Amino acid sequence: MTPILNTPAWKHAERQAHGLRDVHLRDLFAADPLRFQRLSVRWGDWLLDLSKQRLLPETLPILAGLWEAADVPGWIARMRAGAPINHTENRAVLHVALRHQGGPIEVAGKDVMPDVRAVLARMRGFCDAIHSGQWRGATGEPITDIVNIGIGGSDLGPRMASRALHAHRVPHLRVHYVANIDGADLAATLAGLAPRTTLFVIASKTFTTQETMQNAASARAWLTAALGEAAVARHFVAVSTALDKVAAFGIDPANAFAFWDWVGGRFSLWSAIGLPLALAIGFDKFEALLAGARAMDEHFFTAPPLDNLPALLALVELWNADFLGLQTRAVLPYSHSLGLLPRYLQQLEMESLGKQIDRDGKLVGCPTLPIVWGEPGTNGQHAFYQLLHQGGRALSCEFIACRAPDFPLAGHHEKLLANCFAQSAALMKGKTQAEALAELNAAASAHDGAAVAPGFLAPYKIFPGNQPSTTLLLPRLDPYTLGALIALYEHKVFTLGVLWHLDAFDQWGVEYGKQIAGTLLPMIEGKTAVTGVDSSTAGLITAVRA
């Protein structure tokens, strides 16, 4: 295929970006009273506002030309047909099958839907057994606490969603998450739990992941010290495909929930990896999560790019990264419940798109994904917003808010929304020196001149503005909406992978550090000599061993 950088659509976008280089967002709003209407898109009761992005209404059709030039519709068809679009691992990419309802979806000639439905049915049965008290621990007591032990995609997705849906939780069950191999993570979690009422979910496809298996072994030791070896079968279940290793650990293979190699870890929330979430909120609500994702799937598969929310997010991201040179994006959910969304998106987006080698083994030739970071508002306003407003760095922001609160305490939500909308407006508009001086003069006059001299303070009150942002306004935060929101970002990642001609579904960069760690561990343990490493690493190991 023709490299995207050589297409007419790319050249056209370059010319448009050059023309906007010295144009301020406040001037774009002043010149077009209908800018919001022209640059906002609705999907049902969702609203995506792109009017504060540094682009023109005619920019989006130009960018949509890249959608066609890269043949995104063709790649969507390949994904849905079970083609091995994860080409470095020769795997299909079918997380959409996990929330599919309807006809067969095939991988290598086999319909995967019967297996998907069978696992979901087993998950429902297990959740019902825990919630009803039918499943009991080794001492005959019902389970009150679930501890999910996993890492990466086996942790971030269900952890984020469990916090997001805290308002919808099953009231008599507590769900905890342990991921870090640092013993402080597991020890702090276990400190408040009773072995006789605790159930562990060990989530590892191969049952060999170092962090997960070390934490699992320590959890097992904690349990058996109190209840004996026979208790393992009533207090551990697994999400894995390695049934032999599951059995060797002491878990009954009948209590192992399968998933498949065509489900990437960071796309696996919809599979048995979502078991702790289903336990946290109940299986009916987990199915509502799947339904929301399915609705977003259908929207992405059928809507034209200018009405397609994942496509628009992807095209604007590419515009900011490759044409405006923005190197970071702050994700700023004005929802405490979505507090882990920035961390979840770091893995989903940066592990998928943090690459420079394309599908042909060549350099992409342009910047790819900006660094993703963020914190929920309004906490971030009292931390890093100073840099957003006056730090002199150009970056983009993504505000996410809900019309209705999930915890309706009087007087809270209106203030939250006021802050969200104010911050995006301030980042766009800024404040000129003349405006700052006039404001200070008015304040000095009101205080009979007692205030600090306006001429002295004015430079400190200037805000450059012109910082682009997107605002996504959701109706509410419930399982259906959250499912659609997560799927929105999954399809954004897919689209950018196609536009940049990347394989968004492998993660070889994750493996390299693990490989080195495997060679260093026996040196740190004192089992082998410290050799074959650089002087810094050798010095650090020697210091630890001393």
Asked whether the whole model's pTM tops 0.75, one would answer yes
Q: Which residue has the tokens 């929802």?
A: 335
217 contacts: CB under 8 Å, gap ≥ 6: none
Q: Are 211 and 178 in contact (CB under 8 A)?
A: no
For residues 378 and 336, what is the distance between their CA atoms, to the nearest angstrom?
A: 9
Q: What pairs with residue 249 in β-bridges?
A: none
First-residue to last-residue Cα distance in the chain: 57
Question: Hey, which residues are catalytic here?
Answer: 351, 382, 514
**CA–CA separation, 199 vs 446, rounded Å?**
65
Token pair belonging to 123? 């998950």
Q: Alpha helix (H) ranges present in 200-266?
A: 210-227, 232-235, 243-249
Comparing C-alpha atoms, which of 101, 94, 106, 92 is closest to residue 120? 101
Instruction: Give, for all 546 residues of the chain, the pLDDT tens digit.
Output: 568 999 999 999 999 999 998 999 999 999 999 999 999 999 999 999 999 999 999 999 999 999 999 999 999 999 999 999 999 999 999 999 999 998 999 999 999 999 999 999 999 999 999 999 999 999 999 999 999 999 999 999 999 999 999 999 999 999 999 999 999 999 999 998 999 999 999 999 889 999 999 999 999 999 999 999 999 999 999 999 888 999 999 998 889 999 899 999 999 999 999 999 999 999 999 999 999 999 999 999 999 999 999 999 999 999 999 999 999 999 999 999 999 999 999 999 999 999 999 999 999 999 999 999 999 999 999 999 999 999 999 999 999 999 999 999 999 999 999 999 999 999 999 999 999 999 998 888 776 555 568 888 999 999 999 999 999 999 999 999 999 999 999 999 999 999 999 999 999 998 899 899 999 999 999 999 999 999 999 999 999 998
**Residue 288 phi/psi, 5° resolution?**
-65, -35
Residue 374, H or E segment: strand 371-374
**In Å, what is the CA distance from 276 to each residue of 161, 238, 464?**
10, 11, 46
Measured between alpha carbons, how far is 197 from 143 in angstroms, rounded to an integer? 4
Tally of CA atoms within 13 A in the half-sphere of 296 that contains its CB: 26
